[in-house]
Amino acid sequence: MNLVPGTLEEVAVNRCFGGWHRRYRHRSATLHCDMVFAVYLPPQAASGTVPALYWLSGLTCNDENFMHKAGAMRVAAALGMAIVAPDTSPRGAAVPGDPEGAWDFGHGAGFYVNATRAPWAEHYRMHDYVVYELPALIEANLPIDARRGISGHSMGGHGALVCALRNPGRYRSLSALAPISHALASPWGQKAFARYLGEDRAAWKAWDACELIAGASERLPLLVDQGGADGFLLEQLQPETLRQACAAAGHPLKLRLQAGYDHSYFFIASFIDDHLHHHAAALLT
């Protein structure tokens, strides 16, 4: 049975570092399906509202990967900052997936864009879901206020960059770990954009971080960590292209190439504390 839009059904709850990890299901009016997301509420949320870091996960992931593997809740609890982890795509029997059953498109691979081509356009509108619908739902129902930061990993790093760059004033802080920096030139991005957006590459530029940085009206300081032993580094992620785009536009960027680290959650867990503190500097002042 589908839920009524705007209502939350709690599906799991766990005590953690004095706060609470909670999973909710709701009906999305944007995606036309039921969605699940996770929230970590720090102890400070028991006595007032707190800011939130929105974390966007990568290909094949859902809300559980980051919450279970990143080890972020201890520092989030100490800082007094919530973490919100959406799913990575619409889900359900009515939502089309990859026609060939591939892992890098469709379910688990929404790419945080608003699709314009059938059959994807009806459901695959993850940008509007993450930027507008989900924060409105959370801020109306949970002790979380409109102080928002955004971060993510891989496809989710791409999503974090694009969501912030397309929506000046919506977020106070921005970071990414191993983001798909230049989706126009990434095989993952090219596959997704061709299907979600069509073959006109001019339309893809509105969803590419390096293209958006050139004309951005807001210059949020950007922290990016990248594993030096990441097998996707050169073909899919292209951090040097991001460095070049930021340098040309005068966009503040701290890009750290971490020797020996790969693309996994071992890498994320190693540097997530730095990212939480980066966001706290903007969200808690």
Question: Would you give per-residue pLDDT tens digits along the chain (285 residues)?
Answer: 456 667 899 999 999 999 999 999 999 999 999 999 999 999 999 999 999 999 999 999 999 999 999 999 999 999 999 999 999 999 999 999 999 999 999 999 999 999 999 999 999 999 999 999 999 999 999 999 999 999 999 999 999 999 999 999 999 999 999 999 999 999 999 999 999 999 999 999 999 999 999 999 999 999 999 999 999 999 999 999 999 999 999 999 999 999 999 999 999 999 999 999 999 999 998
Structure tokens at 49: 């509202």
Note the pLDDT of residue 3. 67
Note the pLDDT of residue 1. 47
Note the pLDDT of residue 6. 75
User: Considering 63, 87, 225, 230, which one is annotated as catalytic?
Assistant: 230
Q: What is the DSSP letter of 130?
A: I
Note the pLDDT of residue 285. 83
Domains of the chain by start residue, with CATH: 9-284 (3.40.50.1820)
Q: Is there a catalytic annotation at residue 251? A: no
User: Considering 28, 57, 89, 154, which one is annotated as catalytic?
Assistant: 154
Q: Is there a catalytic annotation at residue 230? A: yes
Q: How many CB atoms neighbour CB 156 within 10 A?
A: 31
* Whether the model pTM is above 0.85: yes
Note the pLDDT of residue 2. 57
User: Considering 107, 158, 263, 275, which one is annotated as catalytic?
Assistant: 263
- Unique residue bearing structure tokens 């969200």: 283
Note the pLDDT of residue 5. 65
